[in-house]
């Protein structure tokens, strides 16, 4: 296994040994998610081999469960007894809530007031206390920090945490278990926990793997921070990719992403919606906006063809927790007359 100097610079936050340990710790609780080839994205669009890593099939419908679980399994008994708390737009909330239920730990979740109803209900369904506070994730985060000080509950950060990053990094190991000769990986980015863990796992194996992060034009704090060379807030408007609606990235994840992510692609709201539609029609996959970001980047043509044509690429479908009303809206506004190829699976 080759480990280059760039990866070594980020090892204080998350390293390959942390990720391997996380894989062992969470293996009895998580689902090894499918990795399937999309013939549509491969043959029709890129001229390469494009695979979809289906974390929308994970328990709770999102990759976030991995990181939350790994973090909580590392807590002391005293911390577990006092309870856990987080701020989340929905997917991390569900991961925390399910872990709390499985391990018998009281969980509290602070969610933005505009968090999707489906994610609110699912989080409550797993047994967590849900408090709606603030217009944005950052507002919710500040209130979470205040409440944690008042109650003594342990904060399980949705992304800016070593154990959380390591938990998400187990996805990278699963990809390598199936495709060792990977050339390019495309990952949705919000606060940065997912891409930090995945990039660490992949580049520890092969530093030449090209890692692309994708964010919405409306909210792309991580991309803007890397561009500016310092942590920078960026928020224009809400995005359909609500799971990645993080205006200010984490301090730890910024350091990792700045060194290990090769480039960032920004996509529009229409491009995200179009990707959700194509994933439904062509690959028979229901995904939320955040999960469609890598496909949106491919379909938009914004990725240099040299990273896709005649290459082996994995696009990560990070989650599938989407309101049915949103799915209906996408179908109503974007559905076009089907051609004879639309019924082909893949």
Residues belonging to the active site: 64, 318
Strand, coil or helix: 23: helix
> CA-CA distance, 198 to 195, in Å (whole number)?
5
CA atoms within 13 A on the CB side of 343: 1
Backbone phi and psi for residue 9, each to the nearest 5 degrees, phi listed first:
-65, -20
Strands (E), 202-260: 210-216
Orientation of helix 117-125 relative to helix 91-103, angle to 10°:
10
Please tell me whether residue 36 adopts helix, strand or coil conformation: strand
Close Cβ partners of 285 (under 8 Å, ≥ 6 residues apart) = 52, 54, 56, 279, 317, 320
Answer yes or no: are the C-beta atoms of 103 and 75 closer than 8 Å: no
Query: How far apart, in whole angstroms, are the C-alpha atoms of residue 205 and residue 91?
Result: 28
């Amino acid at each position: 296994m080759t480990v280059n100097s760039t990866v070594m610079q980020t090892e204080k936050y998350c390293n390959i040994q942390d990720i391997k340990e996380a894989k062992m710790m969470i293996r009895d609780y998580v689902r090894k998610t499918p990795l399937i080839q999309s013939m549509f994205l491969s043959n029709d669009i890129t001229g390469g081999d494009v695979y979809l890593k289906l974390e929308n099939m994970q328990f709770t419908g999102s990759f976030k469960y991995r990181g939350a679980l790994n973090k909580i399994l590392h807590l002391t008994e005293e911390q577990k007894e006092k309870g856990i708390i987080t701020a989340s737009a929905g997917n991390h909330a569900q991961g925390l809530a399910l872990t709390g239920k499985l391990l018998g730990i009281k969980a509290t979740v602070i969610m933005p007031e505009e968090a999707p109803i489906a994610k609110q209900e699912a989080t409550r369904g797993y047994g967590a206390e849900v408090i709606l506070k603030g217009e944005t994730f950052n507002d919710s985060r500040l209130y979470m920090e205040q409440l944690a000080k008042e109650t003594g509950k342990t904060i399980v950060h949705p992304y800016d945490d070593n154990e959380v990053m390591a938990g998400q990094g187990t996805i990278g190991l699963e990809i390598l278990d199936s495709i060792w000769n990977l050339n390019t990986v495309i990952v949705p980015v919000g606060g940065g926990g997912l891409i930090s863990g995945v990039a660490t796992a992949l580049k520890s194996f092969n530093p030449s793997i090209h890692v692309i992060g994708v964010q919405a034009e409306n909210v792309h704090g991580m991309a803007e921070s890397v561009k500016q060379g310092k942590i920078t807030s960026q928020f224009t408007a809400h995005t359909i990719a609500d799971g990645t609606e993080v205006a200010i990235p984490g301090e730890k994840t910024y350091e990792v992403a700045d060194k290990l992510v090769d480039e960032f692609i920004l996509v529009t709201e229409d491009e995200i919606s179009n990707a959700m539609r194509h994933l439904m029609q062509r690959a028979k996959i229901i995904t939320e906006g955040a999960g469609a970001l890598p496909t949106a980047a491919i379909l938009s043509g914004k990725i240099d063809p040299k990273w896709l044509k005649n290459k082996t690429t994995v696009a990560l479908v990070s989650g599938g927790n989407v309101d049915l009303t949103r799915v209906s809206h996408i179908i109503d506004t974007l559905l076009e007359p089907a051609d004879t190829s639309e019924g082909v699976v893949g």
